[in-house]
Structure 1
Amino acid sequence: MNWKVSMHISCMLFLISGSYINVWGLYSLGEGSSTVIEWELWSLSSSTIVYVLVLDWISLLFLSFVLLISSMVLYYSGGYMSGDPNFNRFMYLVVAFVVSMGAMILSPNLISILLGWDGLGLVSYALVIYYQNEKSANAGMLTVLSNRVGDVAILLGIGLMIQLGGWNFLLYSYYLSDESSLMIKCLLVLAAMTKSAQIPFSAWLPAAMAAPTPVSALVHSSTLVTAGVYLMIRFSPALEGSMAQKGLLIISCLTMFMAGMGANFEYDLKKIIALSTLSQLGVMLSVLSLGFTNLAFFHLLTHALFKALLFMCAGVMIHSVSEYQDIRRMGCLVKFMPLSVSYMSVANMALCGAPFMAGFYSKDLILEMAFMSSLNMISFFLFVFSTGLTVSYTFRLIYYSLAGDYNLMGVCSVSDSESKMTSPMSILGGGAIFSGSVMSWIVFPEPCMICMSQGMKMLTLAVSLLGAVTGYLLNMMAVSWTLKSVEFYKWVTFLGSMWFMPLLSTKNLGLYSLNFGSKVISAGDKGWSELFGSQGLKKTVFYLFNILNSVQFSGIKVFMKMFILSVIIIMMLP
């Protein structure tokens, strides 16, 4: 099948199936019903291995958003990847990615969820190394090794959950007490942290930007990185009041702060957006650890639309400026690409939580519910400061790439002429504007009771305005303040490199762990284990067999000699 010919048909099928699933999900939400499909594959004693599909409003709504965004990404790829010689292979990998995410979304069973979970890891590795250069290979290896930690955690969780008689975490999560099943909760939280790139596994998320931009739009909006958040949403009843939930709150708040700070020192366009994704993942997991599951799911849906739009706009800009990703080589794009810049401004405003955009309805409610919760001062400070940092790096990005000085080369042909890339942006642009209000009416038909002082109520808006002014003014003065970054070089390096996490994950921790692992294998599996295990047993058995064999053959010879001698003696007797 030639994807360049049938791409419109495939995208239309994705859209039709997504719209049907969306209607089904809204019906399930209104009726409060769900459908469970179960196939029993194998039974052992009281435990059964079954393949289960759960079709409730959470899985159906999320799957409809995944299908919508994936159809837009497939259509967008027709323009972005049109000159690639391996275009068909790329499209098949994207479809495999979507199928893996669908299998993970619909499965409530910890064993069958591995089909989608490992499928995401495998296909993401194939997509990150798609350009087949050294940078892509290193990024792919970091991605797959980081995600394998979460895979091992799920496998250990499967082994521990056998005591419950099954692996359906939707059914058994209500009966997991903190005293008896804390290890299972910690393992699943660890799996979610690796897939959603929380500290200390954050280094792989910006490194995965080595993949093509359409893949980034899909990965960072509704698929790979949101898999950990979705797992925690499904497992949320078991986390209520546990130590794992409190630990997740601290880690997610630190991730949110770290990503926002790092994005203000980054100059790679795709990495800035990747760090903003990391920051929003911290927001989702932090509010989830406070106990507001539906609110985290609401932000997950709205974030998927405007983040996919943001990556698509970034891809159009990179595609137009001769594949440069440094925002210092861009500038004044609003005069050449008014449509793409308009959509990017809409996505940026939704990311900042500007009033009446999609992100406003979820982020404002998240911050208000968090301020009303029993937060300590450190978490409160991280929430407030991270909100200002989000607006700060957004306006920094706008200043450098969209509204700053003209820094493009003369050979750049910058325009909005590619309809295959701008048409999907129009649909997602509408979603970035209207999805917040529509989804808030659907998910929260009854208004939440917010009771706080006027100062606390205005704190979010004040911090956002302060962050916007700070981000814009600091970068306007960047020319005269260039040497200031040299004076604070150590702090700039520390904050701009994600607290040295890429260095720790690759050169130090990765190298030392691999060397230590090779020594353990040499001394264990290939050393003492071989000597006293299979090889030693083999040598011992062969040695005993040779002794027995020699005894048997020698005994037969002695017996035959004695028999022949006895016969001769008997014959010689009179």
Structure 2
Amino acid sequence: MNKYSLCFISFFFLFFFMLMNFFMMIYFIKNEMVMFFEWEIISFSSMNLVMSILLDFISLIFMMFVSLISAVVIYYSKSYMSSELNLNRFIILVLMFVFSMILLIISPNMISIILGWDGLGLVSYCLVIYYQNIKSYNAGMLTVLSNRVGDVMILMVIAWMMNYGSWNYIFYLNFMFNDYSMQLISLMIILSAMTKSAQIPFSSWLPAAMAAPTPVSALVHSSTLVTAGVYLLIRFNNLLMETLFIKFFLLISGLTMFMAGIGANYEFDLKKIIALSTLSQLGLMMSILSMGYYELAYFHLLTHAMFKALLFMCAGKVIHLMNNNQDIRMMGGLSLYIPLTSLCLNISNLALCGIPFLAGFYSKDLILEVISMSNLNFLIYNLYYISTGLTMLYTMRLLMYLMINDYNLLVIYNLYEEDYIMLKSMYMLLFMSLISGSFMSWVLFSYPYMIYLPFNMKLMVIYVVLLGMLMGIFISNMKINFLNKFMMTYNMSFFFSLMWFMPSLSTYGLNYYFLLMGQKLLKNIDMGWSELYSGQGMYNIIKYYSLINYMYQMNNFKIYLYSFVLWMMIMIMMIMLI
């Protein structure tokens, strides 16, 4: 079997699955249908373990997007991972990842959700450590230990929901608002979503996960792993709106958006800039979700998936051509040498900024206008608009470094555009980045939203975008980093560029001590006391008594003589004592 066969089979299967979901989605929306399947696996003492499947327009649209991006990424991997000897192993890992995400999407049941949730965590660990070096191992350990917090929270939800007689959470969301235990469940769900979607203080694993191959980054950071938390909160939205922690969650997600926007302006690693922009958009989705507008969060989730996957694929092509160098200071003038890749990169970047009539504009502009219309405090309002300006700022800085500045890597170089497999896969997502915003706005919102605002407030988005664009051009033209010299001291810039010291706190403050404790437990318990009193100890005792038994079985006269003398001495001593 050819090593590329699995690539083609997976691509055609996922593409067919995407088309099937598309036609089902149209049919379901047209007829306002929801389908709920239930398969009872086991029943014990009024508790039923059932496998449930919920098909409605939310799950069908999301499955359609996930399967489209997965198909494109697998096709892209045929060229990107062509030098990989174990390409089939890589494709199987990606397929397991997609299957876990689909299981999570269609599950209205906490048991099947934990299967998909833990499947995502385990396979993402295998993909992050794929290149098997020290950096990858550290990044994988940080990823998996940060996500374990969320896994434990969902396990606690499963244990707590045994009080209700079923794990189908979908039945409880609308009528148990005043129950204190549902407040507890909502807190655990928020915490688990915060770990998977990398909100403060669990943000440090997301840029670290860039150690994975670029096709994996395109899949993980657009539509699967990081969006699992957002999707879970969309499903639990009715319950969350009544909880006490929702305003605190709004503040945390707003700060995540702000922190990631600042961090991206200090970063020089191409993949980490895109990862931080993903973190910023996740903060945007979570914050609008915590205000109750779950349709807007879902809309932005879908449009963001398209242009972010395209952005990662373009970055992968650029890194390939640059001899695996990811430093943007070494790049420049790419639009002269690879114009088609540069076109895809620029359009996906502008869609991220919310330039009118690209995919990101339809969701981002609507979100910002709803924010302007909402009854919010000034801090949250400023966080939204400053973060939007920062998005434009780091995007323009990236485009200036990649497209306008001079090429700085080698004197002799070979930049070429001839990899048609990568280009064809990028064109599919380019088309979706152009049309998915308007298409999804027609599908999700059956009637037009008319938002009336004062003229200056209506144009506030345009003002912020233009200001961010000018600042980005200004900063990228500085020979030294402008932010360091004029706006902040060295220590403050150090603080902002290191994501508010979160990687250090996560690695040394949390994970390091857990791993140290695990090492001590292994040394003292597993290889110490339990060896002495379980396996190894039992072996030594049985061996000792077996030797004694063996000596008796030898029928040696001297042994019986010694035993008789010893027995007689014991009897005499007992008689004397009496």
Give TM-score scaled by structure 2 length: 0.88
Shift of 1:516: 5.4
Query: Could you say which residue in structure 2 is the equivalent of 1:557?
Result: none
Corresponding residue for residue 388 of structure 1: 389
Structure 2 vs 1, CA of residues 389 and 481 (structure 1 numbering), >3 Å: closer, same or farther? closer
**Relative to structure 1, is the Cα distance of residues 520 and 157 closer, same or farther in structure 2, using a 3 angstrom cutoff?**
farther
2:75 partner SS: helix
Distance between the aligned counterparts of 1:54 and 1:503, measured in 2? 41
2:301 matched residue in structure 1: 300
> Which position in structure 1 is the counterpart of 2:209?
208
- 1:361-400 mapped onto 2 (5 Å cutoff): 361-400=362-401
Q: Distance in 1 between matches of 2:197 and 2:251?
A: 15
Matches of 2:79 and 2:445, distance apart in 1:
38
Inter-CA distance 482–204: structure 2 relative to 1 (3 Å threshold):
closer
1:82 is paired with a residue of what secondary structure? coil
Superposed displacement of residue 171, structure 1: 1.6
**CA–CA distance in structure 1, aligned partners of residues 137 and 186 of structure 2:** 33
CA distance in 1, matches of 2:151, 2:182: 19
Q: Distance in 2 between matches of 1:279 and 1:8?
A: 34
Change (3 A) 1:47 1:467: same
CA contact (8 A) 1:40 1:51 kept: yes
Conserved 8 A contact 1:129-1:136: yes
Match of 2:175 in 1: 175
Provide the residue aligned with 1:37 in structure 2: 37
Distance 1:163 1:491 in 2: 50
Answer yes or no: is 1:322 the counterpart of 2:323: yes
What's the CA shift string for 1:212-248, capped at 9, x where partnerless? 0000000011110000000000110111132232222
Compute the displacement of 1:45 (Å): 2.6
2:172 is paired with a residue whose SS is: helix
SS in 2 for 1:181: helix
Residues in 1 aligned to 2:262 and 2:153: alpha-carbon distance in whole angstroms: 30
Comparing 469-478 and 486-495, the one that deviates more = 486-495
In 2, the alpha carbon distance for the partners of 1:521 and 1:251 equals 37
1:334 corresponds to 2:335 = yes
Which AA in structure 2 matches 1:148? Answer: R
Provide the rounded CA distance (Å) in 1 between the counterparts of 2:13 and 2:345. 27
Determine the structure 1 residue equivalent to 2:452: 451
Distance in 1 (alpha carbons) for counterparts of 2:132 and 2:147: 20
CA distance in 1 between counterparts of 2:230 and 2:73 reads 22
Q: Deviations over 1:123-174 (max 9, x none)?
A: 1000000000000000000001111110000000111111122111222111
Which digits, 9 at most, give the CA deviation of each residue in 1:421-465, with x for residues without a partner? 110100100111111011101111211231321121111110111
Partners of 1:523 and 1:480 lie apart in 2 by 51
The residue number in structure 2 matching 1:548 is none
Between the aligned partners of 1:100 and 1:516, the Cα distance in structure 2 is: 31
After TM superposition, give the deviation of residue 6 of structure 1 in Å: 4.5
Indicate the residue corresponding to 1:157 in structure 2. 157
Local SS of the residue matching 2:427: helix
Say what the alpha-carbon RMSD is for the aligned residues.
2.5
Pair 480,50 (structure 1): closer, same or farther in 2 beyond 3 Å: closer
More off after superposition, 377-386 vs 475-484: 475-484
Does structure 2 retain, via aligned residues, the 8 Å contact 1:93–1:127?
yes
Taking the aligned partners of 2:146 and 2:482, their CA distance within structure 1 comes to: 38
1:62 CA displacement: 0.3
Which amino acid in the other structure matches residue 137 of structure 1?
Y
Distance 1:433 1:397 in 2: 21
Following superposition, the deviation at residue 487 of structure 1 comes to: 7.6
Q: Secondary structure at the match of 1:131?
A: coil
SS in 2 for 1:389: helix
* Cα shift at 1:3: 4.1
Change (3 A) 1:476 1:321: same
Aligned ranges for residues 236-251 of structure 1 at < 5 Å?
Answer: 236-251=237-252
TM-aligned CA deviation for residue 501 of structure 1: 0.4
What is the DSSP-based 3-state SS (H/G/I as helix, E as strand, rest coil) of the residue aligned with 2:85? coil
The answer on whether the counterparts of 1:322 and 1:412 sit within 8 Å (CA) in structure 2 is no
**Structure 1 CA distance, aligned partners of 2:233 and 2:399?**
34
Partner of 2:145: 145
Q: Distance in 2 between matches of 1:293 and 1:312?
A: 29
| Counterpart in the other structure of 1:230 | 231
Match of residue 543 from structure 2: none
Name the aligned partner's letter for residue 372 of structure 1: M
Amino acid at match of 1:53: I
- The answer to which of 361-370 and 242-251 deviates more is 242-251
Gaps in structure 2 of 5+ consecutive residues: 539-578
Q: Deviations over 1:64-114 (max 9, x none)?
A: 111100000000000100011121111111111111111111111011111
Moved more, 163-172 or 520-529: 520-529
Give yes or no for contact 2:7–2:91 (8 Å, CA) kept in 1: no
- Deviation per CA, 1:514-559: give whole Å up to 9, x if none: 445667899999999999x999xx9xxxxxxxxxxxxxxxxxxxxx
Distance (Å, rounded) in 2 between the aligned partners of 1:485 and 1:134: 37
Task: Give the structure 1 partner of residue 501 of structure 2.
Answer: 500
| Contact persistence 1:26–1:61 (CA under 8 A) | no
Is the contact between residue 259 and residue 275 of structure 1 (CA under 8 Å) also seen in structure 2?
yes
2:125 is paired with a residue of what secondary structure?
Answer: helix
**Partner in structure 2 of residue 510 of structure 1:** 511
Q: How far off its partner does 1:505 sit?
A: 0.6
Q: How does 1:23-422 map to 2 (within 5 A)?
A: 23-178=23-178, 179-422=180-423
Partners in 2 of 1:528 and 1:198 — Cα distance?
A: 41
For 2:200 and 2:483, the matched residues in 1 are separated by 30
- Once the two structures are overlaid, the 10-residue window that deviates more, 141-150 or 485-494, is 485-494
Aligned position for 1:545: none
> Partner of 1:382: helix, strand, or coil?
helix
Counterpart contact for 1:196–1:227, Cα < 8 Å? yes
Q: Which residue of 1 aligns with 2:544?
A: none
AA paired with 1:258?
M
Contact 1:233 1:288 in 2 (8 A): yes
TM-score w.r.t. length of structure 1? 0.89
Contact 1:309 1:425 in 2 (8 A): yes
Q: What CA distance in whole angstroms lies between the structure 1 residues aligned with 2:42 and 2:534?
A: 31
Structure 1 range deviating more: 36-45 or 270-279: 36-45
How far apart, CA to CA, are the structure 2 residues paired with 1:283 and 1:135? 30
Q: Structure 1: give runs of 5+ residues left out of the alignment.
A: 539-574
C-alpha offsets along residues 297-317 of structure 1, whole Å, 9 cap, x if unaligned? Answer: 111111010000000000000
Question: Contact between 2:484 and 2:493, CA under 8 Å: does it hold in 1?
Answer: no
Using the alignment, how far apart are the partners of 1:445 and 1:48 within structure 2? Answer: 38
Measure, in 2, the Cα distance between the counterparts of 1:166 and 1:199. 32
Q: Quick check: 466-475 or 367-376, which moved more?
A: 367-376
Q: Structure 1 482/241 Cα, relative in aligned 2: closer, same or farther at 3 Å?
A: closer
Residue number in structure 2 paired with 1:559: none
The DSSP-based 3-state class of the residue aligned with 1:50 is strand
The aligned amino acid for 1:168 is N
Structure 2 counterpart of 1:440:
441
Q: CA, structure 1 residues 240+529, in 2 after alignment: closer, same or farther (shift >3 Å)?
A: farther
Structure 1 residues 483 and 350, CA, compared in 2 at 3 Å: closer, same or farther? closer
Shift in Å, 1:513: 4.0
Please tell me whether the aligned partners of residues 290 and 370 of structure 1 are also in contact (alpha carbons under 8 angstroms): no
The structural deviation recorded for 1:371 is 1.8
1:30, CA displacement in angstroms? Answer: 2.1
Using the TM superposition, name which of 77-86 and 520-529 deviates more. Answer: 520-529
Contact 1:320 1:412 in 2 (8 A): no
Offset at 1:10? 2.7
Given residue 50 of structure 1, which amino acid in structure 2 is its aligned partner?
V
Shift in alpha-carbon separation, 1:443–1:357, aligned structure 2, 3 A: same
Displacement after TM superposition at 1:482 (Å): 9.2
Alignment-mate amino acid for residue 395 of structure 1: M
